Structure 1
C-alpha cells in the first residue's frame, strides 16, 4: 500500500517533535554504542562526557555512569561540535554519518542504516504525538494491548523501528503506533503441503470461532461452499494482508495454481498489532487467542518471519511448560503461567526448502501461531502488563513503573521485592531445576498485576527463545519427544545468559537507572534487593531438593563477571546482506556483575 492509495493525508511532525525524536535517538545510540564498546566516551569533568569521532565531529553530553558501565544520558544536554561550531544535536542521521568511520561502516551499510533511521524517526514522532499529555499514571492504567501501541519499543536496538520493506502507508495502517485494526486474509491450505500441530482441545473449527462471530463464520462457510472447500480437506490459515500482497501471492503462485492453497478473502474480527509487529490481538475480543503472523520486513536486526521447525511441537511444548507451572511448588506459589501456543501451521516453500543456505526469510514467509491472550489468564481484580512497558516514560520523564509503585501504596523496595520474586525467581528456577532457559526480554514476559503490585508472570515465545541445558535433567524427562528433537542444547554458562542478558541487561539495566532518577533508590540497593530475593529462593530450594547446590554452581548467577553481549555491533559488522541464519550477537569485554557487587559492597543504608 502506498500513501497515494491509503485514503488518508500524510501527517507531518512538528519541528519540536522532530527535534525531540532525533535528540532521543542520538542519546540512545551514544549510550548503547559506548556500552557495546564501538564508541569511546571520555569523561571531561565529573558528569560530562565527550565522544570524539574520526570525521572531526564530537558529541558532548551530561550523563551518569550506571552500575553496568552504561551511560544514562540527559537528552537535553547532547551537543554536536564541528569546525568550531557547537549546536544542539538534533539530527540523528548526521550523527551516523559523523560516526561512520568509527563504526567501520561500508557505504552500503551506512545507507541502509540511514534508511532505518528515517523510518524509526517517523514512528517515534508519531508516538510523541499520540502520547502527548498522557501522564505515566494514565499510561499505567491502560489495557495492555492499548498501551503497547504507545511504547517506544526495544530499548537496546538503536534503530528499533527500521521496518525495511514498508513505506508511509504501511506505517500508518499496520504499524504498532497506528493503533489501527487490521482485517486478515484467510486461506485454505491442503494439509499435505503444511506442517501443523494443535492442542487436542483446539480443533480448527474452534480456532475459527476465536476470530469470527456467527455472521462472519456463516459468510466464510458460504464462500467455502462456492469454492467446493471443506475443512475436512483443508486447514484454515490467516495471513497478514501486507504479507499476502507483497510476498505470498507471487512466491506461492505455483501452489495457488495447483489448488494446494486457496484464497478465500478477508473475514472476521480486526486485529491490533502489538509492539512486536507480527503478534496481533483481537481488537473486539481481547481475551480471544492472539495470532502471530510472519511479516517479511527487516526490523531490529532480523526479518520478522516465523521458523517452521517448531510448529508441530509448539502446542505440546507449551502444554508441558504449563504443567510445570501447575505442579512445581516453587512456580505454583508464585503464580507462574504460560500463554500457551495452542496451534500452529507452517507452509514450507517448495523450492527454497531445497536450497541449502537460502536466505532464512524465504523459509519463514507463510504460517501462523495461535497463542493464548494474557487477558484470558487474569482473574477477578487482576490485569496484565507487558514487562517492557515498565520502562515507558511520559513527557515529564515519569515511568509506568514509578506510577505503579506510587499507586500501589508500597515503597520502591517492597514493590521491587514482589517483582523479583514473581518474575526473576521463576526464570531462575526453571533454569536450575529443569535446565530450561528462556530469553526473557521485555516482550516475552507479561506481568499479572493485582492492586498495581506484581502478582505473577506469564511466559511466552518458545519458538527459538526456549533452549535446554546440556546434560541429563531427570526433571524434564516428560518433555514431549517432538520438542526434544528440535530444541537447542547449550552449555550451562550459555543458558545463564538467557536470564542475565535476556532479562537483567535488557530490562533491569534500564529499570534500575530509571528508578534511581525517579525515586532515589540507588542502583546498588536495587541489585542488593534482587540478590537477597535470589538467595532466599536458593535456601527454599535446598530444603526441598538437596541436589540444588550443584545446579546453582552450574548456573552461577553470582559470579564476579559476565560476558557483554552486543546486538547493535553485529548488525553494523554484518551489514544488511541476506544470510542463511539469523544474526548471532557479538561479545565484548566482561561486565562486573551487579549481583556480585551487591554481595561484596557494604550498604551505607543498612539495607
Structure 2
C-alpha cells in the first residue's frame, strides 16, 4: 500500500489558497487511494479499495456530466480531492429541493503527516473548494451532507459559512444537510439552537400565520373582512389589514400572503405583521376569556417558532414527496413525508403549541425535525398496572414482537439485581421528555419504593409523528408505532393519556377491526384499520387515590403514565405500494407547489379520475361505516395513511381508533366498551361527515387543486356528491348528506374558549360550538 502523500515544505497554510484542477484518474489514482485507505478517511467508506478500483471510481465521476472530480495542490503537492455534483441529478434527489445554481460538494483532505499537522490546511482547502464552486462553476449555493457523526468536518463547514439545516437519510447514512450561500463565504454561521429566531425566518412565519388566522377566523364567522377596492380589509384595533383573497365553497378563504399588508391609524408606512398582536386586538371578537389569553398567545408564539424553524430547514419538494425515494425505500419515503409537513393542523391557528419543549427538545422530538430518539423503559408492579391486549395476542407474543430477547434479559437482570422478581412486573415505555420532566419528579415516591423501576433506554430508534405523542420504529419498521403520554400543552390539551381508556383500547380496536374485515364493501374499497393491539396504564400513584369525582378524574397527574402499541402499515403493504400520510395532500413545499398536484401529474390520470379514485378509497368507506354500522371515526389528515400505487390512492388505513371512534346509534357492543356508544339524531350523525371530512379535509383539497389549475372546485364537489350517493344508498341508516345546509361546527372557537381543555373527551358532542348553518357544497 502506498504511503499517504504529506506536505513537508511548510507548516502554515493560512497565507494562501491551494490551486484546484480537474483530477486525472490515471495520474492521481495512486495518491487518492492512499488517502482513502487511511483510517481518517473512513467516512468515505472506501478504505478497502485498491488503486485499480479507485482509478475506475475517479473515471466514472469524470465521465458523468452531473459530476466532476478535482485535485487540490499546495506548493505543487497534492493535498486534497474534491467532488462536485448537480444535486438535481445526484445523491440529493430525494431530500433537497435543488434550484439552478446549486452545487453539491464532497471533500477528502490528505491525512496529516507523521511529523505534525499543517496549521490551517483544512480551512484553506475548504475555502479553495467553495470559491472554486462559486467562481468556476457559477454556484449560488453549495450543499453538503456529512455524516452526522463526523463532527470535525461539521466544524470546518460552519467556519466557512455553511449552515446546518436538518438531518436526512442519504446514501445509506444519516447525514447533516448543510448549505452555504456563496455570497457569504467566510462568514461563519451562528448555528446556535435559536438560529431560526431571526427576522429572515420569523417574518415569513408571521406572514403565513396572520394570513391563516384571517382566513380561519373569517371561516368561523368570528370576523368579517369588508370589500376594499379590488381586495379586502379587516379592521382590528388600531390596525387595518388589506389583502387579496379567493373564496371557495364552505366559506373557505385563501388569502394571498404576498398581498397582505398592515397599517396603523395615525402612523405612516406599513406596520410589521404580528400574529399575537392580531389576536390581542381581536380578543373580544374571538371571545377569548381573560384568564386564557396568555396561554393562547403562548401557543401562537410557539407555533411561530415552529414555522420559523421549518422555514430555515427547508424540505423536500412536492415532486420529491409525491415520487418517493429513488431507491424504492418506502419506509424512508413514508417518514420523509411525515417530517416534511409544515402546517400542523389545517384549521387550527395555534396548531404547534408544545409548551414544555425547550430548544434542544424541539429539535429532538418535534415531528417536523425528523429526528430520532429512544424510549425510556420502566418496570411497573403488576398489582398497580393493567396491560390490555388484543384477543389474538398473548403477553409473551406481544413482547416477542416488540422487544428483542437481549433487551428483555437486560430488563430482567436489572430487576433481579435490585432483589425484585421480574415476573411481578411488566415493561413500560415512556417518552424521554416525560421521564425527565414528569416521571422522575412527579412520581419520585413510586420510584423510591420500587413500584416503578428505571430500566434505561430501549434499543430501537423512533421518529416522532405528526401526532406528537406517537413515534414510528425506524430500527424495525414492522414493529408497532408507540404512543405514550406526553404532558406538554399542545393545541388545546395537555397531551396525557388515561389509563382508564387504555384498559379498553384493544377491545375497542378488536371490535372495530372485526366489523371492517367482515364488510364486503369495505373490503372492496381496501379500507383497513391499524389496530391499537396493546395498551398499558399505571395507577399505583397517589393521584389515583385522591377521589373519583370529575375534578379528580380529570387531574393531569392521572394521565402521565400510559402507553399503547399500534400496528405499523409496513407489513401490510404489497409490492409496488407505498404509504404516505393523508396530510400530505394539503401540503405545499417551500416554493408553494402542492403534493396533490404532483401526485396527479405523476399518476398520468386526468385530475377528475384521480380524485374519484381517492374519494372511493377514503370518503366511500367513511360514509359507509356511518350509514351501515353507525360508526364514526376522526378521519382528518394525520389519522389516515394513504396507500399509493403509481401515484394513485389505491386504499387507506385509518388509525387513532381507541380514543376517537364513536357509535352514534343504539348498537350493541361487547361488554366493557360501552363508552364508545353515544346515540345521536340524524343531523348530529351527519356532522361526522360534514365537519370532519367536508370542512376538515375536502374544503382545503378542493381549493388546492383549483388554485393550481388542476381541477375546478365545482367539478371536485360534483365528484364528492357522486361518491356520497354511491356510498349511502340503501344502507341501514340512510342519511341525507345532500341537504341544503348543515350546522357550522367550529374548531378554533373551541380552543379560543378554553385553550387548556377545549373538549371534554367524555362528552365531545356537548362541547361543540356552532356558528349558524353553512351551505352544503353537494346540496341537491
- The equivalent of 1:602 in structure 2 is none
Cα gap change, 1:161 to 1:458, in 2 (>3 Å) = same
Cα gap change, 1:390 to 1:580, in 2 (>3 Å) = closer
Asked if structure 2 preserves the Cα contact closer than 8 Å seen for 1:439 and 1:499, the reply is no
Q: Which moved more, 1:405-414 or 1:574-583?
A: 574-583
Cα gap change, 1:146 to 1:360, in 2 (>3 Å) = farther
- The equivalent of 1:27 in structure 2 is 211
* Structure (1 or 2) with the larger CA radius of gyration: 2
Q: Which moved more, 1:504-513 or 1:208-217?
A: 208-217
* Residue of 477, 488, 503 corresponding to 1:297: 488
Asked if structure 2 preserves the Cα contact closer than 8 Å seen for 1:425 and 1:534, the reply is yes
Secondary structure of the 1:197 match is strand
Report deviation, 1:244: 1.7
- The equivalent of 1:351 in structure 2 is 545
Equivalent positions of 1:136-215 (< 5 A) are 136-140=318-322, 141=324, 143-152=333-342, 153-215=344-406
Asked if structure 2 preserves the Cα contact closer than 8 Å seen for 1:468 and 1:490, the reply is no
1:577 and 1:485 map into 2 onto residues whose CA distance is 20
Asked if structure 2 preserves the Cα contact closer than 8 Å seen for 1:209 and 1:217, the reply is no
2:567 and 2:289 map into 1 onto residues whose CA distance is 43
Q: Which moved more, 1:272-281 or 1:121-130?
A: 121-130
- The equivalent of 2:680 in structure 1 is 490
Cα gap change, 1:108 to 1:12, in 2 (>3 Å) = farther
Cα gap change, 1:265 to 1:360, in 2 (>3 Å) = same
Secondary structure of the 2:635 match is coil
Secondary structure of the 1:94 match is helix
In the alignment, structure 2 segments of 5+ residues that lack a partner are 1-190, 326-332
Report deviation, 1:213: 4.0
- The equivalent of 1:512 in structure 2 is 702
In the alignment, structure 1 segments of 5+ residues that lack a partner are 1-7, 543-547, 600-607
2:685 and 2:442 map into 1 onto residues whose CA distance is 37
Report deviation, 1:433: 0.7
Q: Which moved more, 1:399-408 or 1:309-318?
A: 309-318
State whether structure 2 residue 254 is matched by structure 1 residue 63: no
1:327 and 1:106 map into 2 onto residues whose CA distance is 48
- The equivalent of 2:518 in structure 1 is 327
Asked if structure 2 preserves the Cα contact closer than 8 Å seen for 1:197 and 1:343, the reply is yes
Report deviation, 1:201: 4.0
State whether structure 2 residue 292 is matched by structure 1 residue 97: no
1:491 and 1:258 map into 2 onto residues whose CA distance is 51
Report deviation, 1:63: 0.3
2:556 and 2:777 map into 1 onto residues whose CA distance is 38
- The equivalent of 1:523 in structure 2 is 713
Cα gap change, 1:100 to 1:298, in 2 (>3 Å) = same
Equivalent positions of 1:552-591 (< 5 A) are 552=734, 555-576=735-756, 584-591=767-774
Secondary structure of the 1:446 match is strand
Cα gap change, 1:207 to 1:367, in 2 (>3 Å) = same
* Residue of 456, 478, 490 corresponding to 1:265: 456
Q: Which moved more, 1:146-155 or 1:198-207?
A: 198-207
Asked if structure 2 preserves the Cα contact closer than 8 Å seen for 1:297 and 1:304, the reply is yes
Asked if structure 2 preserves the Cα contact closer than 8 Å seen for 1:126 and 1:177, the reply is no
- The equivalent of 1:389 in structure 2 is 584
Given the two structures, how large is their TM-score scaled by the length of structure 1? 0.89
- The equivalent of 1:4 in structure 2 is none
* Residue of 216, 219, 222 corresponding to 2:413: 222
Asked if structure 1 preserves the Cα contact closer than 8 Å seen for 2:532 and 2:658, the reply is no
Q: Which moved more, 1:197-206 or 1:429-438?
A: 197-206
1:528 and 1:204 map into 2 onto residues whose CA distance is 50
Asked if structure 2 preserves the Cα contact closer than 8 Å seen for 1:294 and 1:367, the reply is yes
- The equivalent of 1:338 in structure 2 is 529
Asked if structure 1 preserves the Cα contact closer than 8 Å seen for 2:662 and 2:676, the reply is no
- Provide the aligned C-alpha RMSD in A: 2.3
Report deviation, 1:336: 0.8
State whether structure 2 residue 231 is matched by structure 1 residue 40: no
1:465 and 1:98 map into 2 onto residues whose CA distance is 35
State whether structure 2 residue 312 is matched by structure 1 residue 129: yes
Report deviation, 1:98: 2.9
Q: Which moved more, 1:276-285 or 1:355-364?
A: 355-364
1:221 and 1:234 map into 2 onto residues whose CA distance is 9
Secondary structure of the 2:435 match is helix
Q: Which moved more, 1:179-188 or 1:418-427?
A: 179-188
* Residue of 98, 112, 116 corresponding to 2:299: 116
1:229 and 1:205 map into 2 onto residues whose CA distance is 20
Report deviation, 1:57: 0.9
Secondary structure of the 2:708 match is helix
Q: Describe the superposition over 1:97-145 as per-residue Cα deviations: whole angstroms up to 9, x where unpaired.
A: 332343344554332222112211111122123335x320112226222
Cα gap change, 1:594 to 1:580, in 2 (>3 Å) = closer
Higher relative contact order (CA 8 A, sep 6+): 1
Cα gap change, 1:578 to 1:538, in 2 (>3 Å) = closer
1:219 and 1:193 map into 2 onto residues whose CA distance is 22
2:425 and 2:284 map into 1 onto residues whose CA distance is 55
2:393 and 2:366 map into 1 onto residues whose CA distance is 30
- The equivalent of 2:233 in structure 1 is 50
Cα gap change, 1:437 to 1:350, in 2 (>3 Å) = same
- The equivalent of 2:44 in structure 1 is none
Given the two structures, how large is their TM-score scaled by the length of structure 2? 0.70
- The equivalent of 2:173 in structure 1 is none
Report deviation, 1:87: 1.9
Report deviation, 1:580: 7.4
Asked if structure 1 preserves the Cα contact closer than 8 Å seen for 2:225 and 2:233, the reply is yes
2:715 and 2:461 map into 1 onto residues whose CA distance is 46
1:231 and 1:304 map into 2 onto residues whose CA distance is 30
2:737 and 2:759 map into 1 onto residues whose CA distance is 33
State whether structure 2 residue 255 is matched by structure 1 residue 73: yes
